[in-house]
Amino acid sequence: MPAEGRGRGGGEFQAWFRTDGDCLDYLEWLRWPGGFTCPSCGCAAGWRLGDGRYECAGCHGRTSVTAGTIFDRTRTPLTVWFTACWLFATAKDGISALSLQRSLEIGSYQTAWAMLGRLRSVLVRPGRDRLTGRVEVDETFIGGEEPGLRGGRARGKKVLTGIAVEVKEPKGIGRCRMALLADASSASLHPFVTGHVEPGATVITDVHQRRSQRAARARGDDPGKLLPAVHRVASLAKRWLLSTHQGSVEEAHLQSYLDEFVFRFNRRRSRSRGLVFYRLLELAAGHDPVRYRSIVAGKRPRKIPPTPPAGRGHPPSLERPPAERPWRAADLDYSG
């Protein structure tokens, strides 16, 4: 267990998920809290086969707990997956693929990077709530920063990003949303606002008056003064990309990194890190399987070896002696 996993709630994590079987049982409990339900026909009767899969009593279809989730057909042991989820959900700034690879002794950078990519891909739940109340909206350029450029590497491209942030009364910041915009036109900004802000909310923006911060500064305006919340969130996101990920995020993947930033930012005041971990696993277990191909669409990540993902990058299990499975026994309320 890496040191990062021993933070708040880490003890509980350590105690709960000792074996790959514990993790599988937890996923089963998440997926079928009332017992097995056939994903094909909805029949609630079935039996477990010798290989751990279930056979439906109605249609005799066979399925596994992980089928239809991001853990489908994974060759990475579930103890490794769960530890990665724990670090992703509970580390203050998340974890980079390189740190993940090193701390869990995952054989290839590519495997670690793809695991994080799969986790990022489940964070945006279709139909999630839109922002309400007073909402600041602005657009800003994100990405392209790269500290300590060496060897004449080209600077990445900056991408125009829409940011919406709830402003609390009398002060404070609520939830945020971020999405890449095709361009600086109203036709691009409008669907961002309608997609992320509830009708009836009070939208505060000066985007239409001020198309570039340079123009605003030339007029002597301070864009941070009018829209302090969006500028605060934008600078935090930029700093996170530079620190945790050293700015090495390709444009094709920027949206998924912003999704990760938003996921963590919007849960920054969660009373329990365990709840954030639970929420992440719930999203992961309820999501369609994510194929490696769909994550690597676009450019490939840096630092990857030129070998296919089916190489020898699959780490050994982090199994320890088994323990109780408290989610089965205790009356746990994790609905918060």
Cα separation of 59 and 53, whole Å? 15
**Cα separation values, 247 from 21, 88, 304, Å:** 37, 18, 16
Q: Which is nearer to Zn ion, 57 or 304 (CB)?
A: 57
Cα separation of 70 and 143, whole Å? 27
The verdict on 212 binding Zn ion (CB under 5 A) reads: no
The verdict on 49 binding Zn ion (CB under 5 A) reads: no
The minimum distance between CB 39 and Zn ion, in angstroms, equals 8
The verdict on 39 binding Zn ion (CB under 5 A) reads: no
Among 56-64, 132-140, 150-158, 159-167, which window interacts with Zn ion (CB under 5 A)? Answer: 56-64
Cα separation of 276 and 167, whole Å? 23
Among 53-61, 76-84, 203-211, 241-249, which window interacts with Zn ion (CB under 5 A)? Answer: 53-61
Tell me, by CB under 5 A, how many residues bind Zn ion.
8
- Where helices occur in 122-247 by DSSP H, the ranges are 186-196, 213-218, 223-226, 228-243
**Coil vs helix vs strand at 49:** coil
The minimum distance between CB 315 and Zn ion, in angstroms, equals 34
Q: Positive or negative, the Cα torsion across 24, 26, 31, 32?
A: positive
Q: In the window 218-247, what residues touch Zn ion (CB under 5 A)? A: none
Among 41, 49, 149, 310, binds Zn ion (CB under 5 A): 41
The verdict on 58 binding Zn ion (CB under 5 A) reads: yes
Query: What residues pair up with 48 in beta bridges, in sequence order?
Result: 54
CB 257 within 8 A of CB 241: yes
The verdict on 61 binding Zn ion (CB under 5 A) reads: yes
The minimum distance between CB 44 and Zn ion, in angstroms, equals 9
CB 122 within 8 A of CB 287: yes
- Closest listed residue to residue 99, CA positions, set 291, 292, 246, 237: 246
- Where helices occur in 51-163 by DSSP H, the ranges are 78-90, 97-103, 109-121
Cα separation of 287 and 122, whole Å? 6
Q: Which is nearer to Zn ion, 17 or 36 (CB)?
A: 36
Q: Which is nearer to Zn ion, 10 or 39 (CB)?
A: 39
C-alpha gyration radius of the chain: 22
Q: In the window 119-178, what residues touch Zn ion (CB under 5 A)? A: none
Among 45, 59, 149, 297, binds Zn ion (CB under 5 A): 59
Among 23, 27, 30, 38, binds Zn ion (CB under 5 A): 38
Q: Which two tokens stand for residue 221?
A: 């305006």
Among 12-20, 59-67, 68-76, 163-171, which window interacts with Zn ion (CB under 5 A)? Answer: 59-67
The minimum distance between CB 285 and Zn ion, in angstroms, equals 19
The verdict on 40 binding Zn ion (CB under 5 A) reads: yes
The minimum distance between CB 45 and Zn ion, in angstroms, equals 9
Residues that bind Zn ion (CB under 5 A): 38, 40-41, 43, 56, 58-59, 61
